Structure 1
Amino acid sequence: MRNPRNDTLGAERPKARPAGETLPERKCVLSGSHGGRDELLRLAISPDGLVLPDPLARAPGRGAWLGVARADLEKAIANGKLKGAMARAFKGAPLTIPDDLAVRIETALRRTLTDRLGIELRAGNILLGTEKIAQGCRAGAVRLLAHANDAGSDGPNKLAQAWRVGEEAEGSGLKGTILPLDRAALSVALGRDNVVHLGVTDAAAAERIAGHLRRLTRFLGVGNEGLVEADSAAPPSDGAAANDDIDTKGE
């Protein structure tokens, strides 16, 4: 018999990290707060000094990390705080911050999420269709249950009930995640008509999707109910120093 899981993500928890192993962290260039790479967004500096979003943190060259919501970023752009913080981080190197940086970031984060959903669907890790998802939920095969933000309440509630049954977690409050995407955007991302719900059947795929979703919801400044951090990961030791707010590689 499976032990019921009470985490709202529904993805299998990763194995505990070996003692002494620290989590890679980055520091927000604006707020000074620290977070993991799947929480903060990397800003890359192009060869001509243009500051651009690097949502996959793969661009070569120098970069800095951002962990604030869009509203705070827009204020920091307007009052010059971001430019000052970036100038200090890069020791006065010439740089240009586009006025529409916040728009570019949101667009990039949405694209990485929808691209990941499409990749996981093609890999066979996503169930579509209410009946197929319900069957997967009752069989205990769904690791992440998610819905378009215009899905209403009836469908999500019924699927959540099936999920709790399959996880032997009735009464736990386990439920799906509302995506920051409507059914039109979800349908385009997955190349299907009228996609409202989805069920992710692979634990690693669920965590990959959740990483992109955490970053987007954090930037949008909305709650990411239904997503939790893995509590089996060991925190950094007292003597572990977090990485700086600037890096020299996109790795």
Structure 2
Amino acid sequence: MRIPRNERVSSDIADAGPERKCILSGEVAPRDALIRLAISPDGPDGVAFVAPDALAKAPGRGAWIGVRKDELAQAMAKGRLKGALARAYKGAKIAIPDDLPERIEAALTRAFTDRLGLEMRSGRLLVGSDRIAENARMGRVVWLAHAADAGDDGNRKLDQAWRVGRETEGSGEKGDTLPLDRATLSVALGRDNVVHLALTDRASAERLAPLLARLNHYLAKDNQGFGGDAAEPDAHHDDADDCESPAETN
């Protein structure tokens, strides 16, 4: 997520905020950098089912992970996720769906595209190359993005218009390449052939930034990184810390 020069998005992953600990790597990071896992109310035989809580709003205690999709799959295959969740939930009977990595990706994608839809309905999200180019050259665009399968020529033209409007010509600054293709964006926004997107409002960029950063990180599309391999938690970590930070419990 890119914003005007010399300004920062307050909710960006790099900013300080309430912290949580990844139950797999043991690393601590701001909430916005992690993914919350929630458990459903007890099912048959008292078994609770694990599900992604992309917006971190589900009631009850949550467990947090900061690993990438492939790392999560490895942790599941080796039984590390099961053990970490057992510690986090104090031995509760828990069922982990085999397709949890895919469910998390779908939930993160939905959270991001739902926010895009809200911003479009509010009139702050622009689509269409001509409209974006006009606003970009006038310095009205604070965030520019392209679908994963957008053409290089179209990207270059809009990137250049954006740099002109921001007075950053020669910097090589480019819009974000999203981890979603035009078909996914078009369905999500109810428009035909959505290839390029732009935001004209800083507050909108602040709302969207952590959602995109979390999705990019999970799909290994970013360069920021968090943690590393899905390692076993340190044996000396307090079990309570594996689930929530003592300072905040949801």
**TM-score category (smaller protein):** 0.7 to 0.9
Contact 2:9 2:205 in 1 (8 A): no
Residue 36 (structure 2) aligned to one of 27, 31, 42: 42
- Give a deviation string over 1:95-122, Cα, whole Å, max 9, x none: 1111111111111111111111111100
What does 1:107-122 correspond to in 2, within 5 Å? Answer: 107-122=106-121
Q: Give me the whole-angstrom Cα distance separating, in 1, the residues matched to 2:178 and 2:62.
A: 29
Q: Give me the whole-angstrom Cα distance separating, in 1, the residues matched to 2:173 and 2:203.
A: 19
Q: Give me the whole-angstrom Cα distance separating, in 1, the residues matched to 2:241 and 2:96.
A: 21
Q: Give me the whole-angstrom Cα distance separating, in 1, the residues matched to 2:9 and 2:170.
A: 24
Alignment partner, residue 237 of structure 2 = none
Aligned-partner SS, 2:64: strand
Q: Which amino acid aligns with 1:40?
A: L
Q: Give me the whole-angstrom Cα distance separating, in 2, the residues matched to 1:94 and 1:15.
A: 39
Alignment partner, residue 235 of structure 2 = none
What does 1:79-228 correspond to in 2, within 5 Å? Answer: 79-223=78-222
Distance 1:153 1:224, change over 3 A: farther
Q: Give me the whole-angstrom Cα distance separating, in 2, the residues matched to 1:80 and 1:200.
A: 42
Bigger proportion of residues as helix: 2
Distance 1:151 1:40, change over 3 A: same
Aligned residue pair count: 223
- Give a deviation string over 1:65-102, Cα, whole Å, max 9, x none: 01001111011111110010111122212211111111
> CA shift at 1:14, angstroms?
4.5
Distance 1:72 1:145, change over 3 A: same
Aligned-partner SS, 1:38: helix
> Which blocks of at least 5 consecutive residues in structure 2 are unaligned?
43-47, 225-239
Residue 23 (structure 1) aligned to one of 17, 28, 39: 17
Q: Give me the whole-angstrom Cα distance separating, in 1, the residues matched to 2:104 and 2:126.
A: 29
TM-score w.r.t. length of structure 2: 0.83
> CA shift at 1:217, angstroms?
1.1
Q: Give me the whole-angstrom Cα distance separating, in 1, the residues matched to 2:52 and 2:85.
A: 14
Q: Which amino acid aligns with 1:9?
A: R
- Give a deviation string over 1:205-234, Cα, whole Å, max 9, x none: 112222111111111122269xxxxxxxxx
Distance 1:164 1:204, change over 3 A: same
Moved over 4 A (4+): 248-251
Contact 2:128 2:196 in 1 (8 A): yes
Q: Which amino acid aligns with 1:154?
A: D
Contact 1:28 1:34 in 2 (8 A): yes
Distance 1:124 1:245, change over 3 A: farther
> Which blocks of at least 5 consecutive residues in structure 1 are unaligned?
1-7, 226-242
Task: Establish whether residue 9 from structure 1 lines up as the match of residue 9 from structure 2.
Answer: no
Aligned-partner SS, 2:241: coil
RMSD across aligned positions (CA)? 2.2
